[in-house]
Chain A
Amino acid sequence: MQNKNKKFIYLKMSMIAINFIAALFITLLIYVTTRIICDHFIAREFINSVASIPWNPYKNIVVSITLFCGLILSFIFREFIYSNNNKAIYITLIIDLIISITLIYFLDFNYNGILFLVIANIIAYTKGIRGRYILMLLSVAAIIIADYQLISINFELYSVYDYISYYDSSTQQALMVCYNSIVSINVVLFIIYCISVIQNQRGTIDEVNTLYEKLSQANEDLRIANEQLKEYSKITEKMGETRERNRLAREIHDTLGHTLTGILAGLDACLTTIEISPQETKKQLEMIAEVTRRGINEVRRSVNKLRPDALERLNLESAIRKMIMDVETMSHTKVTFETRVANLKFDADEEDTIYRVIQESLTNAIRHGKASRVWITMDSVDGEIILTIKDNGIGCVNMKKGFGTRHIVERIQMLRGSVKFDGSDGFTVTARIPIRWGEVYD
């Protein structure tokens, strides 16, 4: 790539050089010839054979050199200083075009080959720039319009050939060879440049194609891996489920089974002793009650094990606050939690439900609603807990029963409560949960 760039820079430099030589050739030839003509006192005769005269042969040289300095400056800016700035490239290209047209004007349209240089640059530089076709069109139009033969029909222009024809025939031939060679070399350089650009672009296309193939292969690999991963996660899920089921079975077996077996054995004993010794039976029943109570405790312990982590370790309020804190640190959503219920201590399934409803609603507010604020309030009315989760998100007009809301509904229905959703102003979840107050079996 580096090599290629270098090649292009050399090509462009040689194009600038040959154009400079061409302009210098014309202006110098005119200057020197004018001097000779004046020294030989044939000026009056000479002007009979020309259509026009340059405004000032000496100043024409100065102007040409100055314009070329501008061209070289613009080249340096474009090539070395702002090579990655599209705007700068665009501006320098326009400057090039203006300089070229000015030069052509000063040379009275005798030489328009400099426009090839401009076109070469436009071809090379304007890949990603808008207006490349306008620039291109402008330069091509300039080449067509700035043709000596065309313009000299309507305007009086001086011709370098008039000055060449002043000399004797052998000098004329030599000068013509020089001049035409310069013009041809410029065209040849332009063609070489264009071919290089085309080749370079073809190389790029090949590279892109190879890269694209590689990318497709990688994509395919990734898709397969993804599929495998899905399969794997399904298996793990299944395994987890099985493990959980086994644990539950074991728990039931260890606690309920054990207790129920004890109760059954005690009751069998009671059946035999109730008629013989009611006293003994009563003692036995008391023992059974004790076992049952212990069994309930065991069950509670087991159930506790199945509760969410925070709830397992903390009470409901602390668990909710922790969840809120986690949410606030993870997403930039501000969550306010207010409760007017004195003691947040319910049965495990109730606490679970409240906790899950809040969790689902927060998740929905952040994920779907893109909310920045969420307000959670809990109130106790007529023995029911009114739980409201409101957010300032985008809400939704036609609410789909998503997974999250379905879970909420199911959970609350299990407790014989009700839930309403309102997506008109942000999103609001209002749940009424009947609480079994005082039915504490402790």
Chain B
Amino acid sequence: MRRSKIGLIIGCIVIMLAFPLAYYISNRDREITLELGIFAGSNWDVANANSYVIIDKAIAKFEQQHKNVKIHYYSGILKRDYSEWLTKQLLLGKMPDVFMILSDDFNRLASLGALKDLEKLMEKDSSFRKEEYFTTALMTGQYNGSQYALPYETVPTLMFVNKTLLMKEGIKVPDSDWTWDDMYEICKMVTKDTDGDGHLDQFGSYNYDWLDAAYTNGMVLFEESDTKINLVNERVTQAVKFTKQLYDLNQGRMVTQDDFDSGRVAFMPLSFADYRTYKTYPYKIKKYHFKWDCITLPAGEYGANISEVNTLLMGISNKSRHEKLAWEFLKLLTYDEEIQMDIFRYSQGASVLKKVTGSKEAEIILQEYMEESEKVIDNELLSRVIEQGVVAPQFLRYREAVSLASSEIQTIIENDKNIDSSLKILQNKINQYLKQ
């Protein structure tokens, strides 16, 4: 009895020791595979022939530094399928170690605990300073005050200016600190009937809506929670009024994309990614037959020359078994200056690192693909627009709420309704929708 008991205890201990030992032996020389979740094409919905160039470069660099690590990704997942693909992996418990996060998914993934809280990793890593990132870009990856993802690529919104048209009208291209009044003045001047057929055929702006105006007037749409939109205040009212003023200039004529493409519109908000795509070969030739450039958006009374900044995030799975390696790779993609410089070379966005975006090299790269005569966007200005920009909330309903608001406000403007009371009704309506 006593003997068998001692045997049993020894057996248990041996088994308990055997498992970790076997695990250790089997893992000692084995190759570690890091799964990477990425999508093909551009996050900014512009054409991109070089989707995997940066990633492949980063992988090669990483695998060289870590001999026993292989990084694997599934190629060919389109952006529109990526969210579904990623959540499928999440449901099946097969989350990639490092993955891109679409802005609509970020809040949901963070709240489901699918993302690793990076605060500790950032703290432990002495070679890492989060101040290197643009504040807005970094903020995009925060949830409940903690950093759950790091920015990889960022794109601010700029104002497209038809230089040919302005030159023709004898108007100087506005400075980067221009205001609503400046814009209104210019729009008023250019809005006219050039061919004398009694119909307006030259316009001030296209696609410039209340949201662009509100952002430049210091508006914060969601102050407290995801479920409460804030529309009833002076800043929003001013923005809507300003939009209405611009609308009224056109005397009810709807400006179309065609008007813009044929060079009859002075201003249009444009993402930095669009700017880079259409400013360079081959799209440059096809798209526009006039000289154009990009400047900041005009500032309202309470705001600055800022705009919405979109950032593509990358995070680490909370269940990753190679946390340290995943962190190293994430750092390589988002924090390595060489890789981040490649964003300018092979992608359409801007680097999330202040130093890279503000560098001479970046400016040279941007210039490289443009015509000699064209003046590229000033790096300092670009950095400022990104740094001070507005981060759009990242939950799925946000877009729906905003598009609902936009269409309602359009109706308010078109039907000449009372702006203050209409906004109050709209605010209640959207809040009710968000509560569902």
Contacts and interface: CB of A to CB of B under 8 A. Distances in A.
Interface of A: 34, 37-38, 41, 43-44, 46-48, 50-59, 156
A55 B84 contact: no
A41 to B, nearest CB: 5
Which of A46, A47, A52, A156 has the most CB atoms of chain B within a 10 A radius of its CB? A47
A44 B114 CA distance: 13
B42 to A, nearest CB: 20
B84 A41 contact: yes
Contact of A47 (B91, B93, B94, B319): B91
B304 to A, nearest CB: 35
B83 interface: yes
A43 B114 contact: no
B93 A44 contact: no
B87 A44 contact: yes
Contacts of B114: 53
Interface string B98-125: 0000000100100111100000000000
A43 B93 contact: no
A44 B106 CA distance: 12
29 contacts: A34-B91, A34-B92, A37-B91, A41-B88, A43-B87, A43-B88, A43-B90, A43-B91, A44-B84, A44-B87, A46-B87, A46-B91, A47-B87, A47-B91, A47-B108, A47-B112, A48-B108, A48-B396, A52-B112, A52-B113, A53-B112, A53-B114, A54-B93, A56-B92, A56-B94, A57-B91, A57-B92, A58-B93, A156-B111
The 3 closest A-B pairs by CB, nearest first: A56-B93, A43-B87, A43-B88
B112 A55 contact: no
Chain B: interface secondary structure? helix
A38 B92 contact: yes
Contact of A53 (B84, B91, B105): B91
Interface of B: 83-84, 87-88, 90-94, 105, 108, 111-114, 319, 396
A35 to B, nearest CB: 8
A343 to B, nearest CB: 63
Contacts of A57: 91-93
B103 to A, nearest CB: 14
Contacts of B105: 44
Contacts of B91: 34, 37-38, 43, 46-47, 53, 57
Contacts of B319: 55-56
Which of B84, B93, B108, B113 has the most CB atoms of chain A within a 10 A radius of its CB? B93
B320 to A, nearest CB: 12
Contacts of B108: 47-48
Contacts of B83: 44
Given A48-B108, A52-B113, A55-B319, A43 B396 contact: no
A289 B165 CA distance: 182
A52 B93 CA distance: 12
A56 B90 CA distance: 8
A51 B112 CA distance: 6
A38 B94 CA distance: 12
B100 to A, nearest CB: 15
Contacts of A46: 87, 91
Nearest to A33: B91
Nearest to B81: A41
Contacts of A56: 92-94, 319
Nearest to A77: B8
Contacts of B87: 43-44, 46-47
Contacts of A34: 91-92
A38 B81 CA distance: 12
Which of B105, B111, B112, B319 has the most CB atoms of chain A within a 10 A radius of its CB? B112
Given A46-B87, A56-B319, A57-B91, 17 more contacts: A37-B91, A38-B92, A44-B83, A44-B84, A46-B91, A47-B87, A47-B112, A48-B108, A48-B396, A52-B113, A53-B91, A53-B113, A53-B114, A57-B92, A58-B93, A156-B112, A156-B113
A58 B94 CA distance: 10
Nearest to A155: B113
Which of B88, B91, B113, B114 has the most CB atoms of chain A within a 10 A radius of its CB? B91
Contacts of A50: 112
Nearest to B4: A81
Contacts of A156: 111-113
A55 B114 CA distance: 9
Contacts of A54: 93
A140 B94 CA distance: 36
Contact of B88 (A38, A58, A59): A38
A37 B92 CA distance: 10
A48 B93 CA distance: 17
Nearest to B91: A34
A55 B318 CA distance: 10
A57 B84 CA distance: 18
A200 B362 CA distance: 86
B88 A55 contact: no
Contacts of B112: 47, 50-53, 156
Contacts of A41: 84, 88
B396 A53 contact: no
Contacts of B90: 43, 47, 53
B244 to A, nearest CB: 35
A365 B51 CA distance: 107
Nearest to B85: A43
A431 to B, nearest CB: 56
A336 B88 CA distance: 97
A156 to B, nearest CB: 6
A50 B114 CA distance: 13
Which of A43, A46, A55, A156 has the most CB atoms of chain B within a 10 A radius of its CB? A43
Nearest to A59: B93
A28 B285 CA distance: 58
Contacts of B111: 156
Contacts of A52: 112-113
A85 B90 CA distance: 47
Contacts of A38: 88, 91-92
A43 B84 contact: yes
A59 B211 CA distance: 47
